[in-house]
Amino acid sequence: MTSRLPVMKLRITAFFLVACLLVSGVLTANAAEVNIYSSRQEHLIKHLLDDFTAETGIRYNLLTGDGPGLLERLRREGRNSPADVLITVDVANLVAAKNAEVLQPIQSSVLEENILPQYRDDEGFWYGLSARARIIYYDPERVDQDKITTYESLADPELGQLVCVRSSSNVYNISLTASMIAHHGEEQTEQWVRGLVGNFARSPQDNDTAQIRAVAAGECGVGIANSYYFARLLASDAPADQDVTSRVQVMWPNQEDRGAHMNVSGAGVTMSSRNVDAATKLIEFLSGEHAQEIYARVNNEFPVNPNVQPSGPVVQMGTFKADELDLSVIQKHTMDAVRVMDRGGWR
């Protein structure tokens, strides 16, 4: 009896080793999963996430919400957050997430190859996934196109009170103003803001699409909005939308100098991520040629991958020169932009 104890102990030890290996296998399987907080509408990215799972075997869980709300949730949850990836729009939101210390830097040769340098954080905290231009729309019957060829020209008193734009709290306008500071400095940008405000046709209100519709309706002669909003109208079969695009012309600003202001939707790996490798693989997948072509076409945006050409309605809007200003430079001026807009009276 006594001589069998070592054998029994070996069997018991072996049993527990096998059990541990099985548990480890289960945990490894569960680790092949990525939790996503996204401010992009689900229908815009779900098909891409499904493709990601099909290609990699990594499952995903998706929570959608508005950008500021998701950032506040990440702040509140801290290191206990289940999120692995944050997907949001505009560099201002990406910068806010970086500054709130809810993202961690990642390094990836795939991302460096797939994404143009100006569309990614120079420290690796966030990476652009699609680009958009913030441009000028005008009524050719009311406005001479030669008088609105630059952002700066919108502040010219001779233009008159013809401009419609969203409020200064909108992240798209904050980033545009930050880019002006990067190019011209605070003092000159504040003068530009004051001139722009003096040319407002009405108090800032509504969303980007509303600015384009207001130009078509004659409420203003000039509007400022992101490129994909007009592309959506171009893609629409609704008679009202077709009427808008027939009345409104596109102006790509600053084509004789720096080019049109660009911004991005993008993603970063959260500080709380327990699946950094899976999270990185997701962002790499979204930056790849397959995803970029679909992402840009479905969202009516521009690829950030230099190997992918624009497609869909944005192509109808014509070719243009893009401002190649590094968005990491813009991020340094976002708070300055808020103060300049406030001092200049942009509400």
160-183 pLDDT per residue, tens: 999 999 999 999 999 999 999 999
> What was the pLDDT predicted at 2?
42
The 8-class DSSP code of residue 4 comes to: G
Spatial distance between the Cα atoms of 342 and 223, rounded to a whole number of angstroms: 20
> What was the pLDDT predicted at 19?
37
The Cβ of residue 342 has, within 10 Å, a number of other Cβ atoms equal to: 13
Is the pTM here over 0.95, yes or no?
A: no
Q: What 3-state DSSP class applies to 165?
A: coil
Which structure tokens are listed for 80?
Answer: 């206990």
> What was the pLDDT predicted at 7?
39
Q: Judge whether residue 4 has pLDDT over 90.
A: no
| Plot region of 86 (φ>0 → left; ψ -120 to 50 → alpha; else → beta) | beta
State the pLDDT confidence band at 8, using cuts at 50, 70 and 90: very low
State the pLDDT confidence band at 21, using cuts at 50, 70 and 90: very low
CB < 8 Å & 24+ apart, contacts of 153-160: 154/195, 154/196, 154/199, 154/222, 154/224, 155/191, 155/192, 155/193, 155/194, 155/195, 155/196, 155/198, 155/199, 156/195, 156/199, 157/195, 157/198, 157/199, 159/199, 159/222, 160/199, 160/221
Spatial distance between the Cα atoms of 30 and 59, rounded to a whole number of angstroms: 9
308-331 pLDDT per residue, tens: 999 999 999 999 999 999 999 998
In degrees and rounded to multiples of 5, residue 328 shows phi and psi of -65, -25
240-282 pLDDT per residue, tens: 999 999 999 999 999 999 999 999 999 999 999 999 999 999 9
> What was the pLDDT predicted at 44?
84
Q: Judge whether residue 26 has pLDDT over 70.
A: no
> What was the pLDDT predicted at 43?
85
The 8-class DSSP code of residue 314 comes to: G
Spatial distance between the Cα atoms of 56 and 219, rounded to a whole number of angstroms: 51
Nearest residue to 247 via CA among 267, 223, 226? 223
Q: What 3-state DSSP class applies to 226?
A: strand
Spatial distance between the Cα atoms of 162 and 262, rounded to a whole number of angstroms: 24
Q: What mean pLDDT, rounded, does the chain reach?
A: 91
> What was the pLDDT predicted at 12?
38
| DSSP β-ladder status, 59-64 and 33-38 | parallel
110-132 pLDDT per residue, tens: 999 999 999 999 999 999 999 99
> What was the pLDDT predicted at 16?
40
Q: What 3-state DSSP class applies to 164?
A: strand
For the chain, domain boundaries: 33-131+262-314, 133-260+329-343
> What was the pLDDT predicted at 331?
86
Nearest residue to 301 via CA among 184, 132, 133? 132
The CATH number that domain 33-131+262-314 falls under is 3.40.190.10
The CATH number that domain 133-260+329-343 falls under is 3.40.190.10
State the pLDDT confidence band at 296, using cuts at 50, 70 and 90: confident
State the pLDDT confidence band at 32, using cuts at 50, 70 and 90: confident
Q: Judge whether residue 17 has pLDDT over 80.
A: no
Domain 33-131+262-314 and domain 133-260+329-343, same fold? Reply is: yes
> What was the pLDDT predicted at 1?
42
Q: Judge whether residue 83 has pLDDT over 50.
A: yes
**Cβ neighbours for 76, distance < 8 A, ≥ 6 positions apart:** none
For helices 91-99 and 171-184, what crossing angle results, to 10°?
90
Q: Which residues pair with 36 in a beta bridge?
A: 62, 85
The 8-class DSSP code of residue 323 comes to: P
